[in-house]
Amino acid sequence: MIEHINWYPGHMKKTREMIQANLKMVDLVIEVIDARIPISSRNPIINDLIGGKQRVIILNKVDLADSRENEGWTKVFKEEGHFVVPMNCMNGAGVPALLSLLSKYQEARNQELSRKRTLRMMIVGVPNVGKSSLINRLLGKKSAKTGDRPGVTRGKQWLTLSNGMQLLDTPGILWPKFEDPLVGLNLAFCGSIRDETMDLASLALELIGVLQKEYPEELMERYKLVELGEEPLETMEAIAAKRGFILSGKRTDYERTARAVLDEFRAGIIGRITLEHSEDA
């Protein structure tokens, strides 16, 4: 197993300080997480920073995740006392439900305060979970940079929605060290850690091992395999052979195979896959 995956550049330290400095100014925190890895994509530092502040959890990328697990995780987070909105930020599914929730929350808060006040929110999450895509959907225009690579958003941005609500965007924040190596792997599988910092062949081999155990039928169907190898390496080599990823001397092109498997997993092409199960929460 790949161990000691660490990713904590300087701008993430600044993000932590930004959250601390601005938390008192907001009424609500919107936390965006990846539905495929609902635990690994929740930064424990954010929990410490936010404390008891009311939170809306956006279970994003539900279109890429196992539908049964989406339902299970929605239930888990609601039982924790959070608002939960399953969403696909790329096509906007779930955005109307979020706006309705925010309007009701603002109305209830104004009644509690006995005065009208614009709702102010902060959006947080690890890199590449879809924060910028969500912001663009809420604004109805492209004002936040988006990309499928972590680290696109930098700096502090206050944004005003069409309904007058204000939103503070923050860059994605990871934490200094992953105590559980599986957390680092899950984040790397889903693209929340820069590929440039990883050995992609080893990473893809780890992913194949997980899929071989958890979603064998999807893996076999996608790569037209009659059977899976006894070890993940055998399966990886079988995938390479099916795709024609062979170098001179009949050597397996592990790098090309790794890129194909990782890209197709991240795009949902292998299937709707959730790597963390709600029953284990």
Which segments are annotated as binding site? 60-63, 128-133, 172
> What is the DSSP-derived secondary structure letter of residue 250?
T
Enumerate the known binding-site residues for GTP: 60-63, 128-133, 172
Q: What angle do CA 217, 219, 222 make, to 5 degrees?
A: 105
The CA distance from 64 to 268, in Å, is: 5
SS3 sequence of 95-160: HHHHHHHHHHHHHHHHHHHCCCCCCEEEEECCCCCCHHHHHHHHHCCCCCCCCCCCCCCCCCEEEE
Q: Evaluate whether 19 touches 122 at the Cβ level (below 8 Å).
A: yes
Q: Evaluate whether 130 touches 113 at the Cβ level (below 8 Å).
A: no
Placement of tokens 């195979």 in the chain: 257
